[in-house]
Amino acid sequence: MTDPVEGLLHDPFPWETTEAVRFANRSFIVPVSHDAEWDAGDMGCGELILHLRHRLRAMPGQVLKLIARDPGAPEDIPAYCRMTGNRLLDAQPDSGWYWIRARD
């Protein structure tokens, strides 16, 4: 039987998931790398979305780590990504962290 983890080493985009991968008795998290980071603080989602739009347009194909503490962000950020074609790679709403790949 081959080692199931071995296949991950050849994955060209291993950072695009943070789901726990479980094989036998092993569990680990594949980290999400990012090209830029923006701390939007407590900025309200209306203003946050406007700024986010400009940032993502300036970095096509790259990954932005967004830190947003607005209470509406856990619903608004994923919805914005779905509507605009940007890819939400991971979200940790309790921490206010979102990794978004800007569309090309």
Q: Kindly report, as residue ranges, where domains of CATH 3.30.110.40 are found in the chain.
A: 36-101
In tens, the pLDDT along 90-99 reads 999 999 999 9
In tens, the pLDDT along 44-91 reads 989 999 999 999 999 999 999 999 999 999 999 999 999 999 999 999
What are the structure tokens assigned to 33, written together?
């790398």
Contact of 98 with 65, CB cutoff 8 Å: yes
Q: pLDDT band for 31, please (50, 70, 90 cuts).
A: low
Please state the CATH superfamily assignment of the domain spanning residues 36-101 in this structure: TusA-like domain (3.30.110.40)
C-alpha triplet 41, 59, 91: angle, nearest 5°: 45
CA-CA distance, 38 to 55, in Å (whole number)?
9
